[in-house]
Amino acid sequence: RPRSEQPGIAMPVDELFRSLAEDCGANAIGVVLSGTGSDGALGLQAIKGEGGITFAQEEASARFAGMPRAAIELGCVDFVLPPREIAKELTRIGRHPYLAAAADPAAIESVTDDEHSLKRIFRTLRGHSRVDFSRYKRPTVTRRLGRRMALHQLDKLHEYADFLEATPGEARALYDDLLIRVTG
């Protein structure tokens, strides 16, 4: 659509990413590279809110670090890498069962269909946050678990349950992922 005539600074990257998040949901991937200002940060937040995956260029490798820094400071970036490493990670994630299954909810559930491991995960989360996620909508939980698995290069739910139990901070990250919801 045509650019808005509203006064203020245009934020086309935010607009693109919000549209991408709305249209593609968990299939969305956003990458913020070198640039000035903060355009892209709110759009990445929308992508992450829909279960997508987000990247920002490592500040040291950026000619202009404003845009990557704004996204990183907003706390909505999954990976902070130099461009060459972003490309490698995109290739890896593109091959992960979670992303391949993201268009088909039944396929996502097959990636996360392990009741014993789910119980371990729920128990770990309950111990960390005192919130019982076992009664949350299963499709939401499985999408968010699949996302965390893709981020950590884990293909099996039992591998993620082991990782969750052994990795300080991962319970909080999963908790935040399960509760995040960005709306207008």
Over the stretch 142-179, which tens digit does the pLDDT of each residue have? 888 888 898 898 988 999 999 999 998 999 989 988 88
Over the stretch 12-35, which tens digit does the pLDDT of each residue have? 899 999 999 999 888 899 999 999
* Alpha carbons 63 and 148: distance in angstroms, whole number: 30
Phi, psi for 155 (deg, rounded to 5): -100, -20
Phi, psi for 140 (deg, rounded to 5): -65, -45
Pick left, alpha or beta for residue 8 (phi over 0 → left; psi -120 to 50 → alpha; otherwise beta). Answer: left
pTM, 2 dp: 0.71
* Alpha carbons 1 and 156: distance in angstroms, whole number: 42
